[in-house]
Amino acid sequence: MTAPTARLGRGSYYAGALAAVLALSACGGGGGEGGSQDGGAADATSTPSVEAVPELAEMVPQQFRDQGTLKVGTDSTYAPAEYLSEDGESIVGFDVELFNAVAAKLDLEAQWQSSSFGTIVEGVDTAKYDVGVSSFTINEERMQQAHMVSYYTVGTQWFTAKGNPADVDPENACGKNVAVQANTVQVEDIEARSQECADNGDPEINISRFKGQDQATESIISGRNDAGLADMPVAVYAVQQTEGKLETLGEQYEAAPYGAVVSKENTELAEAISAGYQSIMDDGTYTEILAKWELDGQGTLETSEVDPSVEG
């Protein structure tokens, strides 16, 4: 069946209950409640050195040039995209590093602030944040609310406990217990699948919605849920960090671009940010950062756009 386009990427500080279950160290993120696992591909606190480009800096509206910073809202519970580092305060992840490099190109500094995922777009609209960077999948609905600047492409990935003890089939999960993070497009995906079950006279899917992806993942490890679905990098990272307790199911699907969120009233800022992403794509910084997170072979874009054309 064809599922709706998934909302992608969310970092998570695998602390608390999940850290206890996994017996792993905390994850890391920037400006939020996320975390960095020691099993990551590289030092989550290091970012390639990036110099400002005067021509790009001049594209930034004077308001932001004067303040010298960009307030960035993120949900730091979505490793490896955005999550808290071992200090429990710094927000890290590949999303964070990419945007830090973009800000540096614009001669600005990103100030990361943790937020609930479902409140970030509104926070950008009300100027609580200048930008939202939290693995937002670009779709028509979100582009009606704000500008979205593309920088990466990801699909949805299912995952389950090692060995798939509940015998979950993503294409026929009727009657299964499935975990998702609230306010993500994965919710739309699993709800559509559950409705199809009901329409065919089969048991509906028992859907558990969690505030953070870390909670959703823990529920699978503990056996409360049979499987879950999340952005591909998040699911793969969870499998890697749980040392054999989880495994992926099938392949990712419905790939769509991530986008940085900027207010409709700040079109010039959105264009400057797009130019910043394009600059790091062109000079190799983009690939260098993604390679550090073992993501350079999938999902990369060659061009960043403001409000790109997308299906759905």
Residue 83 backbone class (left: φ over 0; alpha: ψ -120 to 50; beta: rest): beta
pLDDT at 145: 95
**Does residue 228 contact residue 220 with C-beta atoms inside 8 Å?**
yes
pLDDT at 260: 98
The DSSP bridge pattern shows strands 69-74 and 131-132 to be: parallel
Pair of tokens at residue 235: 């699911």
Please provide the DSSP assignment of 281-302 as one string.
Answer: HHHSHHHHHHHHTT-TTSS--S
| Half-sphere exposure at residue 48, Cβ-oriented, CA atoms within 13 angstroms | 21
The residue-averaged pLDDT of 21-33 equals 28
pLDDT in tens, 239-283: 888 888 999 999 889 899 999 999 999 999 999 999 999 999 999
pLDDT at 25: 23
pLDDT at 237: 87
pLDDT at 59: 98
pLDDT at 2: 32
The DSSP bridge pattern shows strands 109-114 and 147-161 to be: unpaired
Can the peptide bond before residue 80 be classed as cis, meaning omega within 30 degrees of 0? yes
pLDDT at 28: 25
Round to whole Å and give the CA distance between 36 and 47.
14
What domains can you pick out in the chain, each with its CATH number? 16-154+257-292 (3.40.190.10), 156-254 (3.40.190.10)
- Our separate counts of H helices and E strands in the chain read 11, 11
Residue 9 backbone class (left: φ over 0; alpha: ψ -120 to 50; beta: rest): left
pLDDT at 243: 85
pLDDT in tens, 278-305: 999 999 999 999 999 988 777 899 999 9
Pair of tokens at residue 122: 């509104």
At 17, the pLDDT band (50, 70, 90 cuts) reads very low
Round to whole Å and give the CA distance between 58 and 45.
29
pLDDT in tens, 140-176: 999 999 999 999 999 999 999 999 999 999 999 999 9
Pair of tokens at residue 41: 């591909």
Q: What percent of the chain has pLDDT over 70?
A: 84
For the chain, the average pLDDT equals 85
At 236, the pLDDT band (50, 70, 90 cuts) reads confident
Global confidence as pTM:
0.76
